[in-house]
Structure 1
Amino acid sequence: MAETTHGPVDAATVPRRARRSRTPRFVRTIWQTKGLARWILLVGVVITVVFVMFALFAPWIAPYGYDQVRDAGGDFPKSAAPGGDHLLGTNDQFFDIYSRVVWGARTAVTVVVLSVVISTVVGVPLGLVSGYVGGWFDRITVFLMDALYSFPSLLLAIVFSFLLRDALGGGIFAAALSLTAIYIPQYFRVVRNTTVSAREATYVEAAKAIGAPPRTVMRKYLFGNVVQSVPVIGTLNAADALGTLAALGFLGFGIQPTEASEWGYDLSRALDNVGAGDVSPALWPGLAIILLVTALTLVGEGLNETLNPTLRRRRLRKVVLPPRSEEKSR
Structure 2
Amino acid sequence: MSQLSVEPVEEPREPAPQGGRGIRRVLSPVRSARGIARILLWAGAAISVLFVVLAVFAPWIAPYRFDQYSAGGHPFPKQGAPDATHLFGTTVQSLDVASRVVFGARTALEVVVQSVVISLLVGVPLGLVSGYLGGWLDRSLVLVMDALFAFPSLLLAIVLSFLLSGLIGGTVTAAALSITVVYIPQYFRVVRNTTVSAKEATYVEAARAIGARPITVMRRYLFTNVVQSVPVIGTLNAADAILTLAALGFLGYGVQPTQAAEWGYDLQRAVADAGAGIWWTGLYPGLAIVLLVTGLTLAGEGLNETLNPTLRTRPLRRVLLPPLPATLAPRTHRDRP
C-alpha separation in 1, matches of 2:288 and 2:7: 66
Instruction: Evaluate the alpha carbon distance shift between residue 4 and residue 185 of structure 1 in structure 2; reply closer, same or farther with a 3 A threshold.
Output: same
Encode CA deviations 1:192-243: one digit per residue, 9 max, x unaligned.
Answer: 1111111111111111111000000000111011101000000010010000
Alignment of 1:228-239 (within 5 A): 228-239=228-239
C-alpha separation in 1, matches of 2:12 and 2:86: 64
Would you say the 8 A contact 1:161–1:174 is kept in 2?
yes
Q: State the TM-score, normalizing by the size of structure 2.
A: 0.89
Aligned residue identity for 1:41:
L
Aligned residue identity for 2:222:
L
Which residue does 2:335 correspond to in 1?
Answer: none
Which residue does 2:70 correspond to in 1?
Answer: 70
Which residue does 1:166 correspond to in 2?
Answer: 166
Which residue does 1:13 correspond to in 2?
Answer: none
Alignment of 1:88-107 (within 5 A): 88-107=88-107
Encode CA deviations 1:246-271: one digit per residue, 9 max, x unaligned.
Answer: 00001111001110000000011001
Which residue does 1:117 correspond to in 2?
Answer: 117
C-alpha separation in 1, matches of 2:206 and 2:241: 41
Which residue does 2:205 correspond to in 1?
Answer: 205
C-alpha separation in 2, matches of 1:90 and 1:304: 40
Aligned residue identity for 2:153:
S
Would you say the 8 A contact 1:89–1:96 is kept in 2?
yes
Instruction: Evaluate the alpha carbon distance shift between residue 323 and residue 47 of structure 1 in structure 2; reply closer, same or farther with a 3 A threshold.
Output: farther
Which residue does 1:177 correspond to in 2?
Answer: 177
Instruction: State the 1:87 CA deviation.
Output: 1.1
SS at match of 2:167: helix
C-alpha separation in 1, matches of 2:323 and 2:21: 26
C-alpha separation in 2, matches of 1:281 and 1:266: 7
Encode CA deviations 1:161-195: one digit per residue, 9 max, x unaligned.
Answer: 01111111111111000000000000001101111
Instruction: State the 1:324 CA deviation.
Output: 8.3
Instruction: Evaluate the alpha carbon distance shift between residue 311 and residue 6 of structure 1 in structure 2; reply closer, same or farther with a 3 A threshold.
Output: closer
- Sequence identity, in percent? 64
Runs of 4 or more above 6 Å deviation: 20-23, 322-327
Which residue does 1:31 correspond to in 2?
Answer: 31
SS at match of 2:284: helix
Aligned residue identity for 1:192:
R
Which residue does 2:138 correspond to in 1?
Answer: 138
- Structure 1: runs of 5+ lacking an equivalent: 10-19
C-alpha separation in 1, matches of 2:199 and 2:12: 48
The answer to whether residue 40 in structure 2 is matched with residue 40 in structure 1 is: yes
Aligned residue identity for 1:86:
H
SS at match of 1:148: helix
The answer to whether residue 158 in structure 2 is matched with residue 149 in structure 1 is: no
Which residue does 1:305 correspond to in 2?
Answer: 305
Aligned residue identity for 2:123:
G
C-alpha separation in 2, matches of 1:207 and 1:48: 41
C-alpha separation in 1, matches of 2:326 and 2:161: 79
Structure of greater Rg: 2
SS at match of 1:270: helix
- Structure 2: runs of 5+ lacking an equivalent: 1-5, 15-19, 328-337
Instruction: State the 1:27 CA deviation.
Output: 2.6
Alignment of 1:71-86 (within 5 A): 71-86=71-86
Which residue does 1:280 correspond to in 2?
Answer: 280
Instruction: State the 1:31 CA deviation.
Output: 2.5
C-alpha separation in 2, matches of 1:279 and 1:128: 49
Aligned residue identity for 2:232:
V
Instruction: State the 1:46 CA deviation.
Output: 0.5
Instruction: Evaluate the alpha carbon distance shift between residue 22 and residue 256 of structure 1 in structure 2; reply closer, same or farther with a 3 A threshold.
Output: closer
C-alpha separation in 1, matches of 2:201 and 2:11: 44
Encode CA deviations 1:21-53: one digit per residue, 9 max, x unaligned.
Answer: 797123321232222111011110100010000
Which residue does 1:17 correspond to in 2?
Answer: none
Would you say the 8 A contact 1:35–1:313 is kept in 2?
no
Instruction: State the 1:86 CA deviation.
Output: 1.0
SS at match of 1:157: helix
Instruction: State the 1:313 CA deviation.
Output: 1.9
C-alpha separation in 1, matches of 2:193 and 2:12: 52
C-alpha separation in 1, matches of 2:49 and 2:37: 18
Q: State the TM-score, normalizing by the size of structure 1.
A: 0.91
Encode CA deviations 1:273-326: one digit per residue, 9 max, x unaligned.
Answer: 101011110000000000000111111111111111211121223546679899
Instruction: Evaluate the alpha carbon distance shift between residue 131 and residue 80 of structure 1 in structure 2; reply closer, same or farther with a 3 A threshold.
Output: same
